[in-house]
Chain A
């Protein structure tokens, strides 16, 4: 497919214009976060040396600089503290209504996580509502593997959605 005005970019993938994280292990040492998401788990890293749990995940503990980290589960349900709804002028890549919320997952360091709320019509959400993790597919990422050709790496991302009352 041609890129308007730049014919040389036909069928090429510009990762600098990709809104989704480069989450394949070839490009991201935190790839396990996304692999866990694919299993419906919201996770982050915990330091085996000092016990510190950091969000987002790291490859080096920000407290003690140990590299001995393990993935730990965060709750997948939380409560809406405050939210915003954008109906008009939603930016490219998102659908109206674009809803953002600060949610409390009930444990540190996830007491005030900012997330998108999906599967929710405008005017429906209330402060205090319970929301749950929602994992969805995003476009696969083409990775040039040289002689082996280009592979398509499947990707996911997450938001939260209202828990049906």
Chain B
């Protein structure tokens, strides 16, 4: 009988500027995850995949998985490993866990991710960001911190499609307002269009609320098979129907689009994930996309097929990303407002889609049966997409 992967449970630590060590954050996340399905105990878990990119630089810890396993009271016997795909690390962990449980290499895998980014002196994390992109060819030009790169991206979207600053601000307002009541979000405040439009400049045209913050935090989820999941929970099963991870370049000079606002690699990843999931863009009822910057979400709703290319600004400004809109996006607050501890983000997104499909999200999308998560990572060098649904692919 075919083994079909599901996401059984999920949770996260409080995200923000945390007075905590990276191992503290992972323990908080593991507890939040198991509290989500109280019948599941640490001894039931036979696999662990830890997504973290900065543990080596900011916590002086490589080979992170055994450290996290021990601190979280896990004794994995099937797999215990780390993955590093920066902003897509959590989603990568889920994809790998799906493959492992469906192939029978593991039964119950904790896929988790986390980062401790606030170092005793702030320069160190900013300086380390030179390694987040292709170090010798982009980082060395000062392209590590992403605002300049996404400023260029936003300018090219404005040049080619007439997108306006108000369109970007609409994304920030929607995502901040989703997060305002999220107790684990870094930014728990409402935001008005006026506040977003008059915020301090970061790199024009990007201003404060266009950029996600630096975040400490962790998140954990459980990936297992549908048959095993039924032993632990009566909730609706949320299947991982299809996935894709597309990498066509690393150095920005080899960006695969015609310009920086043309994300050919996103389109390729989406087509592959939709094909594997046997859905189309029109089937997606709720999405968690990688809103590292407001402009990212504008382009993502286009490239994921929620609207036509070039109409992302209008799509966001006309509230199609809000509850009641065509595809509510980043319903827990997204990277902009929940924060972005790189390796944790994909797990947070998967957990929110699980809750949406089970009908227990804070900002619930009525009748959501198919949901999607999306990440970009590095200097927009890789795209990772997962499609979740209430039934397996037949």
Residues of A near any B CB (own CB < 8 A): 16-17, 19-21, 55-56, 81-86, 88-94, 98, 100, 102, 109-110, 112-116, 157, 159
Majority-rule SS of B interface residues: helix
Partner of B144, one of A20, A84, A91, A102: A91
Q: Which of B126, B252, B253, B260 contacts A91 (CB 8 A)?
A: B126
B147 within 8 A of A: yes
A93 and B127 form a contact (CB under 8 A): yes
Whether, in the assembled complex, B156 has its beta carbon less than 8 Å from a beta carbon of chain A, the answer is yes
Within 8 A of A (CB), among B106-153: 123, 126-127, 129-130, 135-145, 147-149, 151-152
Q: A17-B127, A56-B253, A91-B127 are in contact. List 12 more A-B contacts (CB 8 A).
A: A20-B140, A55-B251, A82-B156, A82-B260, A84-B204, A85-B204, A93-B127, A98-B148, A112-B253, A112-B255, A112-B259, A116-B142
Are A100 and B140 in touch, CB under 8 angstroms? no
Please name all residues of chain B whose beta carbon is closer than 8 Å to the beta carbon of A116 when the two chains form the complex.
141-142
Closest Cβ of chain B to A113, distance in Å, is 5
Q: How far is the CA of A114 from the CA of B149 in the complex (A)?
A: 9
Name 18 interchain pairs, CB-CB below 8 A, sorted by A: A19-B127, A19-B139, A20-B140, A55-B253, A56-B137, A85-B203, A86-B148, A88-B201, A90-B142, A93-B127, A93-B130, A100-B143, A100-B148, A100-B152, A109-B253, A114-B143, A116-B141, A116-B142
4 closest A-B pairs by beta carbon, nearest first, are A84-B151, A114-B252, A21-B136, A116-B141
Kindly state whether residue B155 has any CB partner on chain A within 8 Å: yes
Residues of chain B at interface, number, CB under 8 A: 36
Which B residues contact A (CB, under 8 angstroms)? 57, 123, 126-127, 129-130, 135-145, 147-149, 151-152, 155-156, 159, 201-204, 251-255, 259-260
- Residues on B with C-beta less than 8 A from A21 are 135-136, 140
The answer to whether A100 touches B159, judged by C-beta atoms less than 8 angstroms apart, is: no
Partner of B155, one of A82, A92, A112: A82
Contact between chains at A19 and B140 (CB < 8 Å): yes
Partner of B147, one of A83, A86, A94: A86
CB pair A109–B254 under 8 Å, yes or no, is yes
A110 to B252, CA, bound (A): 11
B residues less than 8 Å from A102 (CB atoms): 152, 260
A119 to B270, CA, bound (A): 42
Nearest neighbor of B141 in chain A, beta-carbon distance: A116
B142 & A82 in contact (Cβ 8 Å cutoff)? no
> How far is A159 from B142 in the complex, measured between Cα atoms in Å?
11
Are A84 and B152 in touch, CB under 8 angstroms?
A: yes
Contact indicator A19/B130 (Cβ below 8 Å):
yes
Q: Contact partner of B127 among A84, A92, A100, A113, CB < 8 A?
A: A92
Pair B202/A89 contact, Cβ less than 8 Å:
yes
Are B254's CB and A55's CB within 8 A? yes
Complex partner residue of A115 from B57, B141, B144, B159, CB under 8 angstroms: B141
* CB pair A114 B203 closer than 8 Å: no
Residue of A nearest to B136 (CB): A21
Instruction: Name A116's closest neighbour in chain B (CB-CB).
Output: B141
